[in-house]
């Protein structure tokens, strides 16, 4: 998991993700409590596989949140960078920053 992905998660998404990796599908025995910082240790493929395995055990609300997490985890670094650049570009092209040419 990349830090950008971790930072993009809402409080509900982070709580559900931590519940899934700590309770429903823990990585190790003896059980090591996974914190938000430790999520960065996980490889992308393992997290995706873990979420997919856990999804049938979730409520309808949990499944919706899980789909949002999967979407965010599947975004590439390139897509994140492009979104960031588009945000900056939008801010720099506001009318107050344009020059009048006469």
Q: Within 10 A of 13 (CB to CB), how many other CB atoms are there?
A: 15
CA–CA separation, 34 and 40 (whole Å):
10
Q: Which residues contact 8 (CB under 8 A, 6 or more apart)?
A: 72, 75
Look up the pTM and report it: 0.71
Query: To 10 degrees, the CA torsion angle through 54, 58, 63, 68?
Result: -60
Each residue's pLDDT, cut to its tens digit, for the chain (102 residues) gives 888 888 889 999 999 999 998 888 887 667 788 899 988 888 888 889 989 999 999 999 999 999 999 998 887 767 777 877 777 655 554 555 455 555
Domain range annotation of the chain: 3-80
Please give the Cα distance from 49 to 62 (Å, whole number).
16
Backbone angles phi, psi at 47, to 5 degrees: -60, -45
């Amino acid at each position: 998991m990349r830090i950008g992905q971790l930072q993009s998660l809402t409080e509900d998404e982070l709580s559900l993700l931590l519940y899934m990796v700590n309770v429903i599908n823990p990585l190790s025995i003896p059980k090591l409590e996974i914190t938000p910082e430790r999520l960065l240790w996980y490889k992308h493929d393992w997290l995706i596989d873990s979420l997919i395995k856990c999804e049938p055990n979730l409520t309808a609300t949990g499944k919706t949140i899980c789909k949002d997490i999967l979407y965010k985890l599947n975004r590439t670094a390139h897509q994140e960078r492009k979104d960031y650049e588009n945000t900056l570009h939008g801010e720099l092209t506001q009318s107050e920053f344009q020059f009048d040419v006469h």
